[in-house]
Amino acid sequence: MLDIAWQRKKSCYLPCLTNGKKLLFAPVSAGIEMAKNRYGILEPQVAKQELLQPKQLNLVLAPLIGFDSSGNRLGMGGGYYDRSFAFLKQHKKWQRPHFVGIGYDFQQVEQLGSEEWDVPLESVISNKSLIHCKK
Instruction: Tell me if the bond preceding 54 is cis, omega within 30° of 0.
Output: no
* Type of residue numbered 31: G
Cβ-based burial of 131 (10 A; exposed 0-12, middle 13-18, buried ≥19): buried
Q: How many structural domains comprise the chain?
A: 2
| 89 and 74 within one domain | yes
| 60 and 31 within one domain | no
Query: Which of 3, 38, 73, 105 does the annotation list as catalytic?
Result: 73
CA–CA gap between residue 121 and residue 50 (Å, rounded): 27
pLDDT digits 0-9 by tens, 3-35: 888 889 999 999 999 877 899 999 998 889 999
pLDDT digits 0-9 by tens, 82-95: 999 998 887 666 56
**Helical (H) or strand (E) element with 74:** strand 73-74
**DSSP state for residue 1 in the 8-state scheme:** -
Residue 3 bears catalytic tag: no
Query: Which of 8, 82, 83, 96 does the annotation list as catalytic?
Result: 82
| 48 and 60 within one domain | no
| 127 and 79 within one domain | yes
Residue 68 bears catalytic tag: no
Mean pLDDT of 30-58: 92
What percentage of the chain exceeds 90 in pLDDT? 61
Best CA proximity match to 57, nearest among 28, 95, 3, 92 = 95
| 97 and 32 within one domain | no
Question: With 70 as the cut, is the pLDDT of residue 49 above it?
Answer: yes
Domain that holds residue 22: 1-52
Structure confidence at residue 135 (pLDDT) = 66
Structure confidence at residue 56 (pLDDT) = 93
Question: With 60 as the cut, is the pLDDT of residue 54 above it?
Answer: yes
Question: With 80 as the cut, is the pLDDT of residue 113 above it?
Answer: yes
| 25 and 63 within one domain | no
Residue 83 bears catalytic tag: no
What is the chain's mean pLDDT, rounded?
Answer: 89
**DSSP state for residue 52 in the 8-state scheme:** B
Structure confidence at residue 89 (pLDDT) = 82
Mean pLDDT of 39-49: 92
